[in-house]
Amino acid sequence: MTEEQAMSGKAIYEVFFEHGEVRSDFKKEFISLWPGWLGKERLHLLDEVSEDKWLRFNRMLLAAFGAFHMGVVDHSNETIKFPARLEPFLSDHQEAMQKDASQFLQFVIPAMNCVITEDWDYTYILWHRDVDTLEAIKPLLSGARLEHFSD
């Protein structure tokens, strides 16, 4: 049994979150359809995102789920749940457009020591503690035809 398997969902939660927020020692890498922030002059691109482009995020999450032991964050119980299938948690394009921030998905990959959170404007955030995590995730991003950048 690995250390990760021996830890409870509550103990794993506490490694990554404090008071419902990702711990402050994590760095952010933004995952997007574009290689950087759009800025005012390119904001119109948000309105032009097709369902196919939006589904790239689901492809990336499914690839991560297939490659790593990935859990879904449950803040109400302060725990991480490790489902047998990820599909029931994923939204289609129309559902995603109607979500408010409280419905955004958050995932933990304990072996990679990272969190992946859904955010606004066709952006996810990879929260990581070292560059090796980013290097391991890059093939999943390119396979889903997604970009990444940091501030």
Give domain status of residue 105, yes or no: yes
| H helices present in 7-50, as ranges | 9-16
Length of the chain counted residue by residue: 151
pLDDT digits (tens, 9 = 90+) for 76-106: 999 999 999 999 999 888 888 888 888 899 9
pLDDT digits (tens, 9 = 90+) for 4-59: 544 678 899 999 999 999 999 999 999 999 999 999 999 999 989 999 999 999 99
- Here the tokens at position 26 are 């994590």
Give domain status of residue 41, yes or no: no
What pLDDT shows up at residue 2? 46
CA angle 32, 37, 41 (to 5 degrees): 125
Can you give the pTM of this predicted structure? 0.91
DSSP for residue 51? H
Give domain status of residue 132, yes or no: yes
Q: Identify the domain containing residue 32 by its residue range.
A: 3-17+25-36+46-149
What pLDDT shows up at residue 18? 95
As for how many domains the chain has, the answer is: 1
DSSP state letters, 95-145: HHHT--GGG--EEEEGGGTEEEEEETTTEEEEEESSHHHHHHHHHHHHHTT
